[in-house]
Amino acid sequence: MNRRTLLSSLLGAFLGALVPLAAVANDEDVVRINAYLNSIKTMQGQFVQIAPDGVVSEGDFYIRRPGRLRFEYARPNPTRVIADGFWVAVEDRSLNSQDRFPLSQTPLYLLLKEDVDLLSEGAIQKVERSQGQLRVTAIDPNETEQGSVTMVFDANPVALKQWIVTDPQGLTTTIALRNAKHDLPLDAALFVIEDPRSRE
């Protein structure tokens, strides 16, 4: 998995055993989802990722909106992903290497921007209901070549639980969030991107 694909996969979801979709949701559901996403100031917990080749990785995640995120993969996966509000760095700790991308040009921007409005941005492809859950499939209208993301929420109350990314090649990466906690203070140092050469 290349590093740009990894950024897309951070907007993926582990769908698990969802019941069959019963009905298409309406704009009121989108309004509730927008309100929920915009209400997130900080969020932290654990994640489980399943890559397209079936490899399972785990780790801890930290989000501070707007613009800041950290995914710390547990060993043996050497990956660390940090967004500092302007850049996203994908680090390989085993090689002491790093790639950087503008946050605004990655799928992460869709959820980390200061004012999330999925409906007005034309990002939503469809919104569907299952029993007690909402599934939102979205694509960045300015970066359509990045593929799509399907976010899975508990419906009442709305809470982000999981998501799945389909990349331009049709490969999917899934992530499930666990033990998510909101509105806890997070150390600003979590979102500082360091030059890996400074660690040598």
pLDDT digits (tens, 9 = 90+) for 67-86: 999 999 999 999 999 999 99
pTM: 0.78
Q: Is residue 184 part of a domain?
A: no
Does 191 reside within a domain? no
Query: What pLDDT digit, counting tens, does each position of 140-155 carry?
Result: 666 556 667 788 888 8
Q: Which residue has the higher pLDDT, 33 or 12?
A: 33
User: DSSP for 63-81?
Assistant: EETTTEEEEEEPTT--EEE
Largest Cα span, the chain: 55
pLDDT by residue (tens digit) across 25-57? 457 888 888 888 899 999 999 999 888 888 899
Report yes or no on 189 lying in a domain: no
| 10: containing domain | 3-179
- Please check whether residue 19 is in contact with residue 175, taking contact to mean a CB–CB distance below 8 angstroms: no
Alpha-carbon radius of gyration of the chain: 16
Helix (H/G/I), strand (E/B), else coil: 16: coil
Residue 193 lies in a domain: no
Residue of higher predicted confidence among 88 and 105: 88
Least-confidence region, from 7-11, 110-114, 195-199: 7-11
* Cα angle, residue 42 at apex, residues 176 and 18 outer, rounded to 5°: 25
Per the structure, how many domains does the chain have? 1
Assigned domain for 60 exists: yes
Contact 89, 193 (CB under 8 A): yes
The answer as to whether 93 is a domain residue is yes
Whether 92 is covered by a domain: the verdict is yes
At 11, is the pLDDT very low, low, confident or very high (cuts 50, 70, 90)? very low
- Asked if residues 167 and 174 have their Cβ atoms less than 8 Å apart, the reply is no
Q: Rounded to whole angstroms, how far apart are CA atoms 101 and 104?
A: 9
Residue 187 inside a domain? The answer is: no
DSSP state of 171: -
CATH code, domain carrying 123: 2.50.20.10
